[in-house]
Each structure stands twice: as structure tokens, then as C-alpha cells.
A and B are shown apart, each in its own frame.
Chain A
Amino acid sequence: QSALTQPASVSGSPGQSITISCTGTSSDVGSYNLVSWYQQHPGKAPKLMIYEVSKRPSGVSNRFSGSKSGNTASLTISGLQAEDEADYYCCSYAGISALVVFGGGTKLTVL
């Protein structure tokens, strides 16, 4: 059970859009439409931003969207705002025994 692969860092200017990729395998991302994304500000607990690939929990801005193609899931943040600067982690269901696997995390910097 290996961690999902994410870029270590991405950056963008206010108002721009960025996309964070999350690459897994046919045993996790590729097999289930059960990818979630978490936002984590420094010193804080993670917060669910996207679940089941593209669904947003109540209260999460529609600037956040998710998608998946094959073994790779993506999180897109449009209209970047300073408050979006945080670490982002993807997570995929990986079967009944392994349950879930997290990505290595991506640090988003808003320039």
C-alpha cells in the first residue's frame, strides 16, 4: 500500500486557477470513485473539501472542484484567494482491507 503521488508544491496568483494532481493505481484511485480531498492550514486539523471525486460538502466554496481520469484524480481551485494557501491531501478508498491511502500532500502558495 503506497501513498498516492502529489506534487510537493503548486503556486498561483490571486484570481487564478490551479490544479493539484493525485496519482494512484488500479487498486485505489483507478478502481473506485471514492477520492476525497482535505485542506489543512498550519497547526490545524484537516478539513474535508471534496468527496466521491467531485462532490462538495455543505459550506465548501464552489471554487473547489474535483475530477478523475484513470488512476489520477485532480483538485482544481478557481479564483484563488489568500485564504486558500494551505496543504492539500488527496485520499482514496483502497479496498476492504487497506481501506484508505493518503497522498503525500501539496503545499499551495498564493503569490
Chain B
Amino acid sequence: QITLKESGPTLVKPTQTLTLTCTFSGFSLTTSAVGVGWIRQPPGKALEWLALIYWDDDKRYSPSLKSRLTITKDTSKNQVVLTMTNMDPVDTATYYCAHWVLGATNFDPWGQGTLVTVSS
């Protein structure tokens, strides 16, 4: 059974850098074709894909946020870390991580999500 769980601060100040960790089980990020992605959802709004990292350390970023995002993995800890710089109140959202398989091109399953509020 694959599970994922997000962790990180619930409140960050404008201009600060957000660091979120996705801890997963039930699969390995050393397995060919496997990836972990990050998706966010502002309150009452739609889903937005942010970034994805593959088993071979290939990384993909949303073109609109690429300059602010960094995704890394620690296969020994079964963790994926997302950093987002220069946070703004519009970045207030629930942040999800999810399992991805190359070729299947879908996110399944998802973590429970973590709400991050950006406010001074």
C-alpha cells in the first residue's frame, strides 16, 4: 500500500522560503519510472501542478513557477523536499504530494495535504 504524507510549517511570512517534506512508503524512488510530484490548491480554488522528481533525479517544474521552486529527493529516507522562495500571500494553499508513474501520467495516490498560510 502506497502512502504519502506532507509536513512543514503552517505559517510563513512574506518573502520567506517555504520548505515542505513529503515522506512516503510502499514504493521506492530508486525504482525505474517512479516519481513524486507536488500540487497545490488555494482555498476554494483549483489544483495547480508545481514540480515533479523522477527516480533518476530528472526534475520538472511548472513553467510559471520554475524560478522559485526546487525539488530534491533523499532515497535513504523515502523523502522528497520542495522549496519555494519569496513566498507571497497568494501562495496560501494546501500543498499535496503524490505518487507518479512515468507512462501512466497520473497522480495516484495523494497525500492528505498540508495547509500553508502566508501572512505577516
Contact = CB atoms under 8 A, between A and B. Distances in A.
Interface in A66-111: 89, 91, 93, 96-105
B114 to A, nearest CB: 11
Q: Is the interface of B mostly helix, strand, loop or mixed?
A: loop
Contacts of B107: 36, 38, 46, 48, 91
B62 interface: yes
B3 to A, nearest CB: 11
Contact of A48 (B45, B108, B112): B108
A100 B98 CA distance: 13
Interface in A12-59: 32, 34, 36, 38, 45-48, 51-52, 57
Contacts of B63: 1, 97-98
Interface residues of B, number: 22
A34 B63 CA distance: 20
B24 interface: no
Counting chain A residues whose Cβ lies within 8 A of the other chain, the interface size class is 20 to 34
A104 B45 CA distance: 8
A33 to B, nearest CB: 10
B106 A51 contact: yes
Nearest to A3: B46
B47 A102 contact: yes
A99 B60 contact: yes
B49 interface: yes
A52 B104 contact: yes
Contacts of A93: 105
A51 B104 contact: yes
B108 A104 contact: no
Nearest to A6: B46
Given A1-B64, A46-B96, A99 B49 contact: yes
7 contacts: A1-B64, A38-B107, A45-B112, A45-B113, A47-B109, A48-B106, A91-B106
The 8 closest A-B pairs by CB, nearest first: A48-B108, A45-B110, A36-B106, A51-B106, A34-B105, A102-B47, A93-B105, A105-B46
